[in-house]
């Protein structure tokens, strides 16, 4: 199975068995007859295991499922860090991660994704996010993992923007992968989910035990929905990347657009590193308009771009990130290219921008 292409792997993520359904089915039990593998609904569920097997195979490790990306990352931090430890986090990454570590009894060091990075001596955990959310900067995961390991630190990578098909941080030297599967993995804007993967069985057991003790468990129906969405991830990513590439080409010279970013373009400053470690590029772009009012006008005039604070879904969405507290200009937007026809999307975005160039 590991030699199969991405499309085959996600479609056939549930091994075939005669007389059984093509996919997993939700198991709703809270209590089981003792004597088998499952004992109680908080530590055990067959629907979780099916999705965990699929995600773990894609990541190259053992996956542990959580009801959201924040539940996944908070459990990792709680399991790995002790009071007084030092953690390095991205200063330009997802803002709630910084909010979370700021409330913990640990020393926090912030570094921009593109660097420079501090010495990792005395650091317990280095948390990376590549491409970063929302700015789409990229870091050299292999080089940073080597430096962290030489200093005795663990490395975790938030792989949400890249997805398991776009990047495999465990193969690049990371110890832990964290993902919000609410985004592209589930892909239909209708379910929350997250997961943690690691190739270290002992660490996986600690994360799994942390989930059981903390009670941050996913619902079986939600897990089934994510697994169903996973089957089309390859197809959706391909269309989203096609749309992102087309938007990049028409936006890069547009008078209303500044600081356009998409690591998939050879013109992007992150492309050289991204091209070495990413297997494919997704549909998320970032750029700036003149003001918050210009962003509002752009969205109002667009028939296809909806305001939304998530990304990776079927619909093209736009999020003005300064409203959530990200350290970005007021006119900065993250755009998640959806699965619309490319020509329709490009025409709509250009028409909307041409009326909001001020």
Q: Which helix (H) or strand (E) holds 110?
A: strand 107-111
Distance CA(352)–CA(299), nearest Å, equals: 7
Length of the chain: 358
Which CB contacts under 8 angstroms, 24+ apart, belong to 259-265? 259/286, 259/287, 259/288, 259/332, 260/285, 260/286, 260/287, 261/135, 261/136, 261/137, 261/285, 261/286, 261/287, 262/136, 262/286, 263/131, 263/136, 263/138
Which one of 92, 158, 181, 326 is the catalytic residue?
Answer: 158
Whether 94 is a known active-site residue: answer yes
Whether 183 is a known active-site residue: answer yes
Q: How many CB atoms lie within 10 A of CB 110?
A: 15
Whether 300 is a known active-site residue: answer no
**DSSP single-letter state for residue 290:** S
Which one of 42, 78, 228, 280 is the catalytic residue?
Answer: 42
Q: What is the DSSP code string of 305-341?
A: -EE-S--SSSS-EEEEGGGGT-SS-TTEEEEE--SS-
Cα–Cα distances in angstroms (integers) from residue 122 to residues 126, 150, 155, 215, in the given order:
11, 11, 13, 31
Distance CA(33)–CA(147), nearest Å, equals: 49
Distance CA(244)–CA(345), nearest Å, equals: 10
Which one of 183, 206, 208, 239 is the catalytic residue?
Answer: 183
Q: What is the largest CA-CA distance in the chain?
A: 69
Q: Which helix (H) or strand (E) holds 155?
A: strand 154-158
Cα–Cα distances in angstroms (integers) from residue 357 to residues 291, 295, 332, 354, in the given order:
10, 10, 14, 6
Which one of 94, 117, 208, 321 is the catalytic residue?
Answer: 94
Q: Which helix (H) or strand (E) holds 98?
A: helix 95-102
Whether 200 is a known active-site residue: answer no
List active site positions.
42, 94, 158, 183
């Amino acid at each position: 199975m590991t030699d199969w292409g991405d499309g085959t792997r996600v479609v056939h993520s549930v091994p075939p068995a005669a007389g059984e359904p093509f996919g997993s089915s939700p198991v709703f039990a809270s209590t089981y007859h003792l004597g088998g593998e499952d004992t109680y609904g908080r530590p055990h569920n067959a629907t979780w295991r099916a999705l965990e097997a699929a995600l773990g195979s894609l990541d190259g490790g053992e996956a542990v499922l959580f009801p959201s990306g924040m539940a996944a990352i908070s459990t990792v931090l709680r399991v790995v860090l002790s009071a007084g430890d030092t953690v390095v986090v991205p200063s330009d990454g997802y803002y709630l991660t910084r909010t979370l570590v700021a409330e913990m009894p640990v020393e926090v060091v912030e570094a921009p994704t593109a660097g420079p990075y501090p010495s990792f001596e005395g650091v317990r955990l280095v948390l990376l996010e590549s491409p970063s959310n929302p700015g789409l900067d990229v870091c050299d995961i292999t080089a940073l993992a080597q430096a962290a390991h030489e200093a005795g630190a663990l490395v975790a990578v938030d792989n949400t923007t890249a997805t398991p098909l776009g990047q495999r941080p465990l193969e690049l030297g990371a110890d832990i992968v964290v993902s919000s599967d609410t985004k592209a993995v589930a892909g239909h804007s209708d379910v929350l989910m997250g997961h943690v993967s690691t190739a270290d069985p002992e660490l996986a057991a600690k994360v799994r035990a942390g989930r059981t003790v903390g009670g941050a468990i996913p619902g079986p129906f939600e897990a089934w929905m994510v697994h169903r969405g996973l089957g089309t991830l390859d197809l959706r990513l391909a269309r989203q990347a096609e749309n992102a590439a087309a938007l990049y080409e028409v936006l890069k010279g547009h008078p209303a657009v500044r600081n356009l970013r998409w690591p998939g373009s050879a013109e992007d400053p992150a492309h050289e590193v991204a091209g070495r470690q990413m297997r494919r590029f997704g549909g998320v772009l970032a750029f700036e308009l003149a003001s918050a009012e210009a962003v509002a006008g752009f969205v109002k005039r667009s028939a296809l771009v909806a305001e939304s604070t998530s990304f990776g879904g079927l619909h093209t969405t736009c999020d003005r990130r300064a409203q959530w507290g990200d350290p970005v200009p007021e006119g900065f937007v993250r755009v998640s290219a959806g699965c619309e026809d490319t020509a329709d999307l490009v025409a709509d975005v250009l028409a909307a921008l041409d009326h909001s160039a001020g």
